[in-house]
Amino acid sequence: MSDLPFAPVLLLIGLTLGLASAANAACLDLKQTNVLSFEGTLNYRIFAGPPNYEDVRRGDTPEPTYILTLAEPICASGDEFVDPRDTFSQVQIFPESSGKAVPALAKDLRRWVGKRVVVEGASPFGAHTGHHHAPLLLPITRIALASVPTQSYGTAMTTVQGFYAALSAGNGEEAAKFVIPKKRSSGPLSATAISKFYGNLPEPLTLVDVVATRSGEYRVRYRYVASGPRRCDGESIVRATQVSGSNLIESIKAVSGC
């Protein structure tokens, strides 16, 4: 009889532990080594730094900061400075200091404030100093404008996207399918030329974004590392035309020189 009053308590404890375990399991594990990706709105703020971390207008050092605001709150575990019971919707982002792409990342951060972006990075960590202005911090290795899938429907943008996806894979045969027939057999847009160059890059091409500039014309930004190593932060104007009802690439003009 003496054990009966404790049965509901034990059941409640078991349910609480079970719910806590389930919540932790759904949280982002900061110990994972894979590249992490977040999508949200990019914001820029100047926070107050030392000596008082209160107000730049009263003598505190300005600390310019980029904050990614997520559409939905998340939780995290695996770091002593984060509590999996807490949720947050802001991530402080900055270029990974050791990467060769730092200048390009810094440029993109400046130009895309207020826009919806996708970022990638590794080694996130919880805020633990006065210089940290969001619950989670992420050194990023890539940033791109978030694409709206429907905006490319029924346009030549899907052709451009498919072409650069093939370049990323170094597959000339697939890439040439998106080019007008007369340029498939020879020249820089031929299957052989594409496979030879893009199939042997030390670091594959990454498509940054595709933006329509006018009907049938697109500005494309991309990155890759060629032999040397030589890093290309490239931009090209791609023109498309219709051939037998299909949108195909007619010409590509490099704006950045690579």
Task: For residue range 43-55, list pLDDT tens digits in order.
Answer: 999 999 999 999 9
Number of domains in the chain: 2
Stretch 60-70: mean pLDDT: 96
Residue 240 and residue 157 share a domain: yes
Q: What is the domain extent for residue 171?
A: 149-254
Complete DSSP assignment for 204-247 = EEEEEEEEEEETTEEEEEEEEEETTTEEEEEEEEEEEEEETTEE
CATH of the domain at 245: 3.10.450.50
pLDDT band at 35 (very low <50, low <70, confident <90, very high): confident
Stretch 218-243: mean pLDDT: 90
What rounded mean pLDDT belongs to the chain? 87
Under 8 Å CB-to-CB from 33, ≥6 apart: which residues? 122
pLDDT of residue 33: 62
Residue 164 and residue 137 share a domain: no
Q: Is the bond preceding residue 51 a cis peptide, omega within 30 degrees?
A: yes
Range with the lowest mean pLDDT among 60-64, 133-137, 219-223? 219-223
pLDDT of residue 3: 44
pLDDT of residue 176: 97
Range with the lowest mean pLDDT among 3-7, 109-113, 171-175? 3-7
Stretch 172-182: mean pLDDT: 97
Instruction: Determine contact, residues 138/124, Cβ cutoff 8 Å.
Output: yes
pLDDT tens digits, 76-135: 999 999 999 999 999 999 998 766 678 888 988 998 999 999 999 989 999 999 999 999
d(CA 34, CA 141): 13
Given 110, 145, 180, the domain boundary residue is: 145
pLDDT of residue 151: 73
pLDDT of residue 193: 96
Residue 122 and residue 174 share a domain: no
Complete DSSP assignment for 107-154 = HHHHHTTTSEEEEEES--EE--STT--SSEEEEEEEEEEPP-GGGGTT
Between 15 and 150, where is the model more confident? Answer: 150
Closest CA to 76 of 21, 125, 129, 117: 125
- The residues facing 91 across adjacent strands are 68, 136
Q: Is residue 7 part of a domain?
A: no
- The residues facing 140 across adjacent strands are 95, 121
pLDDT of residue 100: 66
| CA distances, 223 to each of 45, 82, 136, 155, 236 (Å) | 28, 34, 27, 24, 11
Q: Which two tokens stand for residue 124?
A: 């996130």
pLDDT at residue 18 above 60?
no
d(CA 167, CA 159): 12
pLDDT of residue 103: 83
Instruction: Determine contact, residues 11/5, Cβ cutoff 8 Å.
Output: no
